[in-house]
Amino acid sequence: GEEVDYRGVLHRDGSVLMSVTLDHLKAPELLYKSLAAKLIVGMPFKDLATVDSVLVRELPPQDDKNARLALKRLIDISMGVITPLSEQLTKPLPNALVLVTL
């Protein structure tokens, strides 16, 4: 399978997490900017000030290709996409991290 670099999900000196809603995913470039990602030809890139991980309480439907692509691009730049187990079981997002309540 595809290898994913999870080293950027948390930062050793303290991590920044941000909540992302389905509405945020409707405008990916605005989302990337709000996460402090650098944009090169519309593609996000991480730097020192970029959010480390995002909490997505509700995943987009499987047929919402644009929203799911936006999340995939975050995973591709080593940003953690954290989602509840119930969401991951019903609308799986490859390589997302699962949030479980103990």
Q: Which of 56, 80, 96, 29 is nearest to 38 (CA)?
A: 29
The model's pTM: 0.93
Alpha-helical runs (H) found in 2-64: 28-34
- Is the distance from CB of 68 to CB of 60 less than 8 angstroms? yes
SS3 state at 60: coil
How far apart, in whole angstroms, are the C-alpha atoms of residue 80 and residue 26? 19
pLDDT band at 3 (very low <50, low <70, confident <90, very high): confident
Q: Is the pLDDT of residue 4 over 90?
A: no
CA distance 77 to 54: 12
Residue 42 is predicted with a pLDDT of 87
Query: Is a pLDDT exceeding 80 seen at residue 2?
Result: no
Q: How many CA atoms lie within 13 A of 20 on its CB side?
A: 32
Cβ atoms of residues 58 and 81 within 8 Å: no
Residue 58 CA from chain centroid, whole number: 12
Identify the H or E element spanning 54. strand 53-55
pLDDT(1) > 70: no
For 30-78, how does the pLDDT look when each residue is reduced to its tens digit (9 = 90+)?
999 999 999 999 899 998 899 999 999 999 999 999 999 999 999 999 9
